[in-house]
Amino acid sequence: MTARLLGAALTLLALGHMSAQAADDAVRPEDRAAVAACLKIAAAVSRDDGTSPTAGKTDPTAWMAFYTRTPKPGPSSCVGVVSTPCLQRDPGGASGNTADMLDCLTREQRVWDERLNAAYKAMMQACQGKDDKFCAARRKLERAWIAYRDALCDLPYEEHGGTAASLDFADCMLSETARQAIWVEAQK
């Protein structure tokens, strides 16, 4: 528990540093544009061109060999489009500190969170005026997902704590939020 409190304090200090840098938690337009452009490219890529060597049979080895040679990027391949280049700039320099690394991860996480909230809002607006079990199930699922994400992303604090836990937490929040945003956006 002490390690988690220490990690949380380090995260808050780093977030305070980021707030001083970014003035607020608004999504940067260039980050929003990068994610949107990547998703547009991913949507343009065909899911399957019919040349899969495993048509009609289940052969995991052939399947993986085929897709290793000819990858089919999808929306999930866009996770990291903002944070990875940010984390890779000036390796070993000033950007190697925890606060800067947290900033890179949370910048992108904000974009995915914005997308998730918009998609969820649209999904729930479609339910207005309806009292059906499907809409209630979607609300229940989203609440359960939030609890799952929070529990999953808290694990680093429980396992090892410290500065590394704050980075693991931020990376987990980014990847889980992105995956959920992609899923909810596909539920149209």
pLDDT at residue 41, as a whole number: 87
Whole-number Å distance between alpha carbons of 8 and 173: 14
What is the distance in angstroms between the CA of the first residue and the CA of the last residue of the chain? 42
pLDDT at residue 16, as a whole number: 42
Q: Is the Cβ–Cβ distance between 177 and 116 less than 8 Å?
A: yes
Q: What is the pLDDT of residues 52-95, one digit of tens each?
A: 555 555 667 777 777 677 667 789 999 999 999 999 886 554 55
> Which whole number is the average pLDDT over 133-155?
94
pLDDT-derived band at 4, boundaries 50, 70, 90: very low
Q: What is the pLDDT of residues 97-129, one digit of tens each?
A: 899 999 999 999 999 999 999 999 999 998 877
Q: Which residue has the higher pLDDT, 47 or 176?
A: 176
> Residue 114's closest CA among 22, 35, 8?
35
pLDDT at residue 127, as a whole number: 83
**Is pLDDT above 70 for 145?**
yes
**Is pLDDT above 90 for 169?**
yes
Helices (H), 23-132: 29-44, 60-69, 83-88, 98-125
